Amino acid sequence: MKIKKFGLIGLIICIVIGIIFFFPQNNQKETKKIKKEKNIISYEHSENKERYQTYQKEHPNLSKKEVITLVNMNRDFDFYGKIIKQEHPNDLNTIVNKYYQLDENYEPNDLVDINTNAGTYGKPYSKHTARKVVYDDFQALKQACLNKGFELYVSSGYRSTTWQKEIYNHMVETYSVERADETCSRPGHSEHTTGLGLDIALDQYKYEEVENHPQYQWFLSQLSNYGFILRYPKDKENLTGYSYEAWHIRYVGKELAQKIEKSGLTFDEYYARHF
């Protein structure tokens, strides 16, 4: 009788445990599935409907997903063909590109010196700033590089809109608008003005040759662990608006950096789908 009773109690316990553990997991899976399905269409904006249709007609080989992403990115307009004011310049996920422009007077209010330890090759790199929010993770990345036997420097950090204007105008005067647009941003459109974009150098390898550093691939593989992404990857000019820049990294925070890396998308595409 006792055995029977315990057997019954045991059975009830098993059922209860089953309900507790099995069903919520199933529910979670179900919710995830629904979310995933929702996610596919979640970046389709009704106000862009006509633009999607027009762009799809013009590009019949593109999938619906690609069309929606590209139109959300405003790629149905030429670069600088549609200017949108960036209303959230202080957000970690803020985007500044050839469509999104910072206010002329925008300046981060938390800029700090970023190259605090000049190191062996650091002399030309001493005076650069970035937003404070970047500082700790950048120092941790720098330390990880040091542990691996090489030094990381910032060769260009924050640049004001006025400074960017000088650079851009100089390029236009020396060459042409086309040439200037190929190599530098128009004022207000530079990621350096957010204080979150950095050009880097490794040891004696200056920014333009940084890719040749023997540890460059390792360095790239570490970026997202410290909240950075490579902002202008190879063969993505049509999406980012910029030629490949092995040296330009952007801070977005660890969580977002890892999500972007996992997606395999450029930040511009990711932004068009998720923000």
Would you please indicate which residues are annotated as catalytic (active-site) residues?
245
Q: Which part of the chain contacts Zn ion (CB under 5 A), choosing from 54-62, 75-83, 197-205, 259-267?
A: 197-205
Burial status of residue 105 (CB atoms within 10 A of its CB: 0-12, 13-18, 19 or more) = exposed
Is the CB of 49 or the CB of 127 nearer to Zn ion? 127
Look at residues 242, 223, 236 and name the one whose alpha carbon lies nearest to residue 266. 236
* R_g of the chain, CA atoms, integer Å: 24
Within positions 27 to 56, which residues make up the interface with Zn ion, using CB under 5 A? Answer: none
CB of 46 to Zn ion, least distance (A): 36
Whole-number Å distance between alpha carbons of 212 and 42: 41
Q: Tell me the closest approach of the beta carbon of residue 192 to Zn ion, in angstroms.
A: 6
- Residues 53, 254: Cα–Cα separation, whole Å: 36
Specify the residue, 128 or 142, whose C-beta has the smaller distance to Zn ion.
128
Q: Rounded to the nearest whole angstrom, what is the least distance from the CB of residue 79 to Zn ion in the complex? A: 17
What's the angle, vertex CA 275, arms to CA 134 and CA 235, rounded to 5? 75
CA–CA separation, 176 and 168 (whole Å): 10
Nearer of residues 248 and 273 to Zn ion, judged by Cβ: 248
Candidate list 199, 203, 261, 269; residue touching Zn ion; CB under 5 A: 199
Backbone angles phi, psi at 71, to 5 degrees: -70, -40
Among residues 67 and 96, whose Cβ is nearest to Zn ion? 96
| Minimum gap (Å) between residue 117 Cβ and Zn ion | 21
Number of residues counted as binding Zn ion (CB under 5 A): 2
- Burial grade of 83 (CB within 10 A; 0-12, 13-18, 19 or more): middle
Q: How far is the CB of 145 from Zn ion (least distance, A)?
A: 19
Closest residue to bound Zn ion by CB: 248
Hey, which residues between 223 and 262 contact Zn ion (CB under 5 A)? 248
203 binds Zn ion (CB under 5 A): no
- Pick between residue 128 and residue 248 the one whose CB is nearest to Zn ion: 248
**Contact footprint for Zn ion (CB under 5 A):** 199, 248
